Amino acid sequence: MLSASVVAKQQVSQDHSPAPSTAPAVGAMTSSQEKADHHPCGKSMHPHADDESSMEACPKPKMDMSSHAMHMQHAEDNPARSPTIGSLPKSDGAAPEPYSAYGVTLHMPSDPLLSKFMLNSLEYVRGDSGSSQAWEVKAWAGHNTNRLWVRTEGARSGGRLEEGDAELLWGHAVSPFWDVMLGARHDLGVGPTRNWAALGIQGLAPYQFDFEGTVYLGPSGRSALRVRTSQEWLFTQRLILEPELELNAYGRGDPRRMYAAGLADTALSLRLRYEFSRKFAPYVGFAWTRKWGGTARMARLEGSPVTDHQLLAGLRIWF
């Protein structure tokens, strides 16, 4: 009787069950089906389930890419809203084959021969004692480590050369910023000419100061020292103010050349230039010069000013 009752209940349950559908009704879902829906494989989560198939690895569910595809389609339909994505260039500019395949050998010397000419100043000078023309030129040729230098400067007034000198030097780089200079100097201008052996250094000091220091030795125990330093102050990339300080000292006086032993003279100048290009720049400036000690006394005896204030206008050119 019990088995007949169970069979009757199952028959009634089957008669009243809904027709199969691809989307089952929410109310028809049993508790065991709800648990199965929470399992990643859709299997029963009953603790006593001992079906060996439940121990098998679950296949990875397929990702629904429909929303992503719709988003990409929307981005393509609205290019203004689509993100900017960089792309690789079509070519990196390199040849598809090595140079040897074309019968060409690439020659790139590691230490080529170079040269440079610098007309640092070619200027008109208007001072307390009159007007004059002055110049300062530097030129070199050579390699990175060893170079041949030519340096000359001077002033001309009243149709004659008042003072000047020319130097021929060999420069050897002892560091990335400093060169040792060795050579000779020849004095020009009023009075007898003088020749000197020269030994010095030049380079870039801390805080961007250009520095030159040279010791000169001549016949009859003559000696001299010249120090020059300058710095560039950039107001803009083209407008540059350059202060410069120079001093000259001698170990032994030379009345015929109008200087005495000790500190002979100093010069402080300011030049404001505008670089139309790096190779061409006009400038204006101001200079103050002063003679000292025995050299100042010689100037007074000759009727020359000890102190001079000068207005400058000139050009700076290099190539």
Where do the structural domains in the chain lie, given as residue ranges? 114-318
At 28 the pLDDT is: 41
Whether 53 has a pLDDT exceeding 80, the answer reads no
More confident residue, 79 or 189: 189
Structural contact between residues 222 and 194, judged by C-beta atoms closer than 8 angstroms: yes
Of all residues in the chain, what percent carry a pLDDT higher than 90? Answer: 59
Is the pLDDT reported for residue 204 higher than 90? yes
Residue pair 151/116 in contact (Cβ under 8 Å)? The answer is: no
pLDDT of residue 111: 80
pLDDT at 55 over 70: no
- Of residues 268 and 79, the one with the higher pLDDT is 268
108-134: burial string, b at 16+ Cβ within 10 Å, e else: eeeeeeeeeebbbbebebebeeeebeb
How far apart CA 216 and CA 278 sit, in angstroms, is 33
CATH code reported for the domain at 114-318: 2.40.160.40
Confidence band of 89 (pLDDT split at 50, 70, 90): low
Question: pTM for this one?
Answer: 0.66
| pLDDT above 50: residue 46 | no
Per-residue confidence (pLDDT) for residue 107, from 0 to 100 = 67
For residue 90, what pLDDT band results from cuts at 50, 70 and 90? Answer: low
